[in-house]
Amino acid sequence: MTVTYRDIQTNEHAFLKEMLYKALHVPDGAEPFPRSILEDPSIAKYIDDWGRDSTDIAIVAVIEHEVIGAIWGRLFTIEKKGYGFMNEQTPEISMAIVADYRGQGIGTCLLNRIEKKYLQLGIDTLSLSVDKSNKAKQLYERNGYVLCEDVDTAVTLYKRIG
């Protein structure tokens, strides 16, 4: 199986929405969120009006024409900040990979690719929010993301990429 990576296409908004849903961490044994959570403004803002700004970047992972993962990032304002907000100059990234394809290095490849894209725009820091019990936290830490803020069950991590 060969994994390829490319920018998300405009007709793949439904997939990005599905990845946003999968990016919402559900602790082991807990009930999944209702899909209606995607309409909550605190969640919807991660993909609403996608592509409105040149700093809206999304990259997908593809195996044999099937899109199996995505990483995306966007800038937020202090008035409408995301969960992993650091400042108005630092894009917050989110990522999800279809369960069958996790643990195969795809997440690391997606991180590397989005970091390169943001560097090309002159952006040198990225941030994210991750639940402390989410296995992805270890992936981010292995890839150089460090603690910015510790809030309840989640942490905000950041990385200087430039």
Q: Convert the pLDDT of each residue in 7-44 to its tens digit.
A: 999 999 999 999 999 999 999 899 999 999 999 999 99
**What's the pTM value of the predicted model, to 2 decimals?**
0.96
Radius of gyration over every alpha carbon of the chain, rounded to an integer in angstroms:
15
How far apart are alpha carbons 67 and 116 in whole angstroms? Answer: 21
pLDDT (tens digit, 9 = 90+) per residue, 91-149? 999 999 999 999 999 999 999 999 999 999 999 999 999 999 999 999 999 999 999 99
Burial class (CB in 10 A: 0-12, 13-18, 19+), 17: middle
Residue 111 belongs to domain with CATH number: 3.40.630.30
User: How many domains does the structure of the chain reveal?
Assistant: 1
pLDDT at position 87: 98
pLDDT for 1 beyond 90: no
pLDDT for 162 beyond 90: no
CB atoms within 10 A of CB 125: 16
How far apart are alpha carbons 12 and 34 in whole angstroms? Answer: 22
Q: Which strands, in side-by-side order, build the sheet including 3-7?
A: 3-7, 57-63, 66-74, 92-97, 125-131, 154-160, 146-151
